[in-house]
């Protein structure tokens, strides 16, 4: 049985708070769990306790009643017993310090996914993640049609369970005509904050035959980071092609996927 020497001074009272005597601390141990026994022994101990109508506060006390020696083994001092709310807070704090995932509501994590696709047409600017890619074609859309940023917005809105970009920024609202999607992302960031969450990370894949986003990943991270008021290390940005297949492969469209993770602020 694991246990730790008692560090508090222990006093026996008369039951009404008046001290009768002070126990010799050097002989006292606080018992921890788990306790381990040979199966036959603990089974016999429980059967005897049931016959006698005895209720113990731990398994070992039932075995002691058999007259069987129970040996104490020093246990770790941080193996605390969780009984009160204060114990629970202490246990959560220790779990955090050890880098262990806590299941407390304060540490709740949520994920969201976003997907968007826009058609490539002549005579539009091509904006991806707030960064302009010069060329003859750009993405068609009501705002600046920044497909990458739209996917990130939807992932974040999904993570907080708050609908999608079309609900928050409808095309029927003239305010959003030609607007930079980074402004929309900034507002989404505020919604995340208002919901009581903070960003943990965002990962993005852009699917495009042209252009290559790889060389401009740092710029894209910078503009997304600025819109959300976080560091660039919060973002993963990757580009891939559709291997010439389908509407993306033929250069008619660009699509983007994003996932976002948020945690309780």
Residue ranges binding Mg ion (CB under 5 A): 116, 150
CA distance 4 to 28: 9
Contacts of 94 (CB under 8 A, 6+ apart): 78, 80
What is the spatial distance between Cα 204 and Cα 190, in angstroms, rounded to a whole number? 20
Q: How far is the CB of 250 from Mg ion (least distance, A)?
A: 20
Rounded least distance, CB 36 to Mg ion, Å: 60
| Nearest distance in Å: CB 75, Mg ion | 58
Q: What angle do CA 74, 79, 85 make, to 5 degrees?
A: 145
User: Does residue 130 sit in helix, strand or coil?
Assistant: coil
Supply the DSSP symbol for 66.
Answer: T
Residue 60's alpha-carbon distances to 45, 57, 64, 75, 257, in angstroms, are: 9, 9, 6, 15, 57
* Nearer CB in complex with Mg ion: 166/229: 166
Nearest to 169 by CA among 155, 148, 150, 156: 150
Closer by beta carbon to Mg ion, 70 or else 227: 227
Nearest to Mg ion of 137, 150 (CB atom): 150
Contact 158, 260 (CB under 8 A): yes
The residue among 116 and 209 lying less far from Mg ion, judged by its C-beta, is: 116
**If you search the block for the tokens 């955090």, which residue do you land on?**
96
Residue 42 or 155 with smaller CB distance to Mg ion: 155
In the complex, which residue's CB is closest to Mg ion? Answer: 150
| Complex with Mg ion: residue 150 or 221, whichever CB lies closer | 150
Contact (Cβ atoms closer than 8 angstroms) between residue 79 and residue 2: yes
User: What's the min distance (Å) between Cβ of 147 and Mg ion?
Assistant: 6
Q: Any alpha helices (H) in the chain, and if so which ranges?
A: 39-52, 59-64, 85-97, 147-159, 165-168, 181-194, 217-228, 246-249
In terms of CB distance, is 37 or 115 closer to Mg ion?
A: 115
């Amino acid at each position: 049985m694991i246990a730790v020497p008692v560090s508090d001074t222990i006093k026996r009272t008369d039951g009404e708070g008046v001290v009768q005597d002070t126990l010799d601390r050097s002989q006292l141990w606080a018992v921890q769990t788990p306790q381990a026994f040979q199966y036959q022994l603990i089974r016999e101990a429980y059967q005897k306790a049931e016959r006698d109508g005895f209720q113990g506060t731990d398994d070992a006390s039932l075995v002691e009643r058999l007259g069987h020696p129970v040996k104490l083994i020093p246990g770790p001092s941080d193996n605390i017993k969780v009984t009160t709310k204060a114990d629970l807070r202490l246990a959560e704090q220790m779990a955090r310090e050890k880098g262990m995932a806590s299941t407390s509501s304060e540490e709740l994590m949520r994920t969201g996914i976003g997907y968007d696709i826009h058609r490539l047409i002549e005579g539009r600017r091509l904006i991806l993640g707030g960064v302009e890619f010069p060329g003859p074609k750009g993405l068609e859309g009501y705002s600046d049609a920044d497909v990458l940023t739209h996917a990130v917005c939807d992932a974040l809105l999904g993570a907080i369970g708050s609908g999608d970009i079309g609900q928050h920024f409808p095309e029927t609202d003239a305010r959003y005509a030609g607007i930079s999607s980074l402004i929309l992302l900034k507002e989404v960031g505020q919604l995340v904050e208002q919901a009581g969450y903070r960003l943990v990370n965002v990962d993005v894949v852009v699917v495009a035959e042209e252009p290559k986003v790889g060389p401009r990943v740092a710029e894209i991270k910078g503009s997304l980071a600025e819109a959300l008021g976080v560091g660039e290390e919060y973002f993963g940005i990757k580009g891939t092609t559709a291997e010439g297949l389908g509407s993306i492969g033929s250069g008619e469209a660009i699509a983007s996927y994003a996932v976002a993770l948020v945690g309780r602020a």
